[in-house]
A and B are shown apart, each in its own frame.
Chain A
Amino acid sequence: MSKKRVRIYTGFERFWHWTQAVLILFLAFTGFEIHGAYTFFGFREAVRYHSIAAYLLLTLIAFAIFWHFTTGEWRQYVPTLENVRAQLEYYVFGIFRNAPHPTRKTMLSKLNPLQKITYFGLKVVLIPLVVTSGLLYMFYRYPTRYGIEAISVGSLKFIALAHTLGAFLLMAFLVVHLYMTTTGEAVFSNLRTMITGYEEVEEPASTGTLEGQQA
């Protein structure tokens, strides 16, 4: 058995992932300060930093969407029921018996079926919830300076509550997401892959990168 370095994540993907990670953490930190959970920057500064980070994240999301569609990578996130059972069984039983991963990460199929479902939900439900409520929060009767009352909503309440709910869900995701990085071949191998872009796989055959989902 030879060890082989297989490329999983492109440079842009890693840039996107880590920038997004930093921004979301910073947004959560400033956001929960605005929410009144603690005082660190002070309310006014927290609002200012939160807004700046929000614009940066929106820009990043725009690039990421462009990238996903131009490269066809969006297909990675199409949820499938195939192998879901195997993957679930792995996390519930196999992982405790040192069983092999039921699916393999490759350039063409980076996500296991559970990840597909999770990230699909993240991208189609949770991120849009946070982004939409965040945009409404920012532009809720906001551009009055220019004489526009573009979005005239009766109350900020539901916008703010949706945004808060989204923040809690994202934080719960983060906890599980961080833990799941330890479930690779070794505790830090998934993390290393996300940083370097390469995964070291034990490869009996020479064609390791063609089809990932070995049954």
Chain B
Amino acid sequence: MVKEMKRAVPILVTIGLVTAVAVVSALTPKELPPTPLAQLKEQYAKKRTPSVDHSKFPQLQRAFARPQDVTSACIECHNGRHTEVMRSNHWRWEREEYVKGRGVVYLGKKNAVNNFCLAAEGNELACAKCHVGYGMESVKTFHFDDPRNVDCLVCHDGTGTYAKAQNKGGQPAPTVNLTKVAQSVGRPGRSNCGVCHFYGGGGNNVKHGDLEEAMFEPTRDVDVHMAVDGANMQCVDCHVTEKHNIRGQLYSLSSMNRNRVTCEQCHTSTPHEDDLLNEHTLKVACQTCHIPVYAKVNATKIYWDWSTAGKLRNGKPYEEKDAEGNILYMSKKGTFRWGKNLKPEYVWFNGTAHHYLPGDRIEDPTQPVILNRFEGSYADPDAKIFPVKVMRTRQFYDSVTRMLLLPKLFAPRQGEGALWEDFDLLRAMEVGMKEHGLPFSGKMDFIETIMYWPVNHMVSPKEKALQCSECHTRHNSRIANLRDFYIPGRDRSPKVEAFGKGLLLLAILGVLAHGGLRVVTLWRHGKEGKR
């Protein structure tokens, strides 16, 4: 006994020492370096102060008769900056894109086909309200090389009073005090970008679903980055801009994988503590988990049926709205459906999109036409799963030429063939297609179209991120439609299941049979023994 106790002494001493060291080190407060997230928060908490006060410049202390005069005054000091704007697609309404199988194409608002108001060309007076220029009545006649037409104010106004007039090709509203606005210019804020980007499609949140009025002053629940009760970030904090080249592009208009804004530019591709979550970033975009729902505050348009457009009541166009004020029917546009707090749909996407361009022939009119098909699959190392809003529309199409029809919608007056003035569908098709330089057979039909709108904004606080079980589940998996790969919890092999379950069943049955037989025979033996 004594001998054994002696042997135990060094062991006990060692254990005691290790425990003591562990306890002391655990109790000593440590100076941990700030986490990457804390560093980011600190970085964006810094207030920016403008380097100059534009109200003090004599060049701006005057009345401006025309907005072009303001632009001239800007260029006097900021010489050359207008050329940067004039290279941007905010001005040009197109980008040069190389698309595999198609070659170099010029794609932008100038010529794009969408499944909302279908096309801007021919309707510029109305659509160019959101052109960063003045007086674009037609993309064909507009002077894209005249710097005085650059609208500096829409992006740089600091008063919040600058507004563009309806249907005037981008001219400011007559009520705007140009002097005051010119003296207020500065770094663009959410309100500058929002006046156009929140109202795409002719109303709040119609197009995007994740960009809307609520993003002017969002709460943390709506958008964790832009929250006024949080980081209060501005659009250009992520859409980093250098020489008026704004990072970021939307795939309703873009094709190539370039100049994109990514979460990783701040957060890196392995931002989680948990390696298992970091592993996901190889195949899953951040947005997929961190934007569990979009259209959180106001509804977004999810379906549009143009086939009912043109109906009149007592000879007059009319509108019908739901209880929340969303338009359900409009003589000008047809029937709509809206959605709020929507779960996105999910697609593989590698950053390249293929667009339907005006005049393209539809191969299979029995299938919905995808206006911006996204490239990508599980096997594609550049592709990740992205959340998208899917816009579904029934729109006009020529059953003979198999082209989508691009009607003339807007005109300043009746009699020019515009649908919204004359309510004559066939005539609007005829005039619209002519303005696009495309044929129209006279045979108008309707076809389903689909458009993908990547959901990138309305990032939720991390507590509200998607839970594992929303995808890793056999029933109602969020990614139930993506079948080209295996994920645990959702997928099984029918063969392995059948074999495994069969084997288990055989084992259980075999054991029961053998055991039963043993019980019976032992019982008989027992009886015989007694005899």
Using a CB–CB cutoff of 8 Å, the interface residues on chain A facing chain B are 34-36, 39, 42-44, 47, 91, 95-98, 141-145, 154-157, 160-161, 164-165, 167-169, 171-172, 175-176, 179, 182
Which 6 pairs between the two chains have the least Cβ-Cβ distance? A168-B500, A157-B486, A179-B511, A96-B521, A175-B507, A43-B468
Nearest CB in chain A: distance from B280 CB, A: 10
Task: Report the Cα distance A146→B488, complex, angstroms.
Answer: 24
A142, A143, A154, A175: the one within 8 Å of B379 (CB): A154
Nearest CB in chain B: distance from A45 CB, A: 9
Residue B361 interfacial (CB < 8 Å):
no
Given contacts A35-B492, A36-B474, A44-B467, contact A165 B499 (CB under 8 A): yes
Residues of B within 8 A of A154 (CB): 379
Residue B501 interfacial (CB < 8 Å):
yes
Task: Report the Cα distance A157→B490, complex, angstroms.
Answer: 12
A143→B275 contact, CB < 8 A: yes
Nearest CB in chain B: distance from A165 CB, A: 5
Task: Report the Cα distance A44→B467, complex, angstroms.
Answer: 8
A172→B504 contact, CB < 8 A: yes
Chain B's closest residue to A147 (CB) is B270
Residues of A within 8 A of B77 (CB): none
Chain A's closest residue to B379 (CB) is A154
Provide 7 A-B residue pairs closer than 8 Å at the C-beta atoms, listed in order of the A residue. A36-B489, A42-B469, A43-B467, A43-B472, A161-B486, A172-B503, A176-B507
A144→B469 contact, CB < 8 A: no
A42, A142, A161, A168: the one within 8 Å of B501 (CB): A168
Given contacts A145-B275, A155-B486, contact A43 B473 (CB under 8 A): yes
Residue B496 interfacial (CB < 8 Å):
yes
Beyond A155-B378, A156-B488, 15 extra complex contacts between A and B, CB < 8 Å: A35-B489, A35-B492, A36-B474, A43-B468, A43-B469, A44-B467, A144-B275, A144-B281, A145-B270, A160-B486, A161-B493, A161-B496, A167-B500, A168-B496, A172-B507
Task: Report the Cα distance A103→B471, complex, angstroms.
Answer: 53
B270→A144 contact, CB < 8 A: yes
Residues of B within 8 A of A176 (CB): 507, 510-511
B275→A168 contact, CB < 8 A: no
Residues of B within 8 A of A169 (CB): 500, 503
Segment touching A, from B12-20, B106-114, B155-163, B512-520: B512-520
Residue B282 interfacial (CB < 8 Å):
yes
Residues of B within 8 A of A171 (CB): 500, 504
Residue B416 interfacial (CB < 8 Å):
no
Given contacts A156-B487, A168-B496, A169-B503, contact A95 B275 (CB under 8 A): no
Task: Report the Cα distance A39→B504, complex, angstroms.
Answer: 21
B490→A36 contact, CB < 8 A: yes
Given contacts A43-B469, A154-B379, contact A179 B521 (CB under 8 A): no
Residues of A within 8 A of B508 (CB): 175
Task: Report the Cα distance A164→B486, complex, angstroms.
Answer: 13
Chain B's closest residue to A34 (CB) is B488
Task: Report the Cα distance A97→B522, complex, angstroms.
Answer: 8
Residues of A within 8 A of B515 (CB): 179, 182
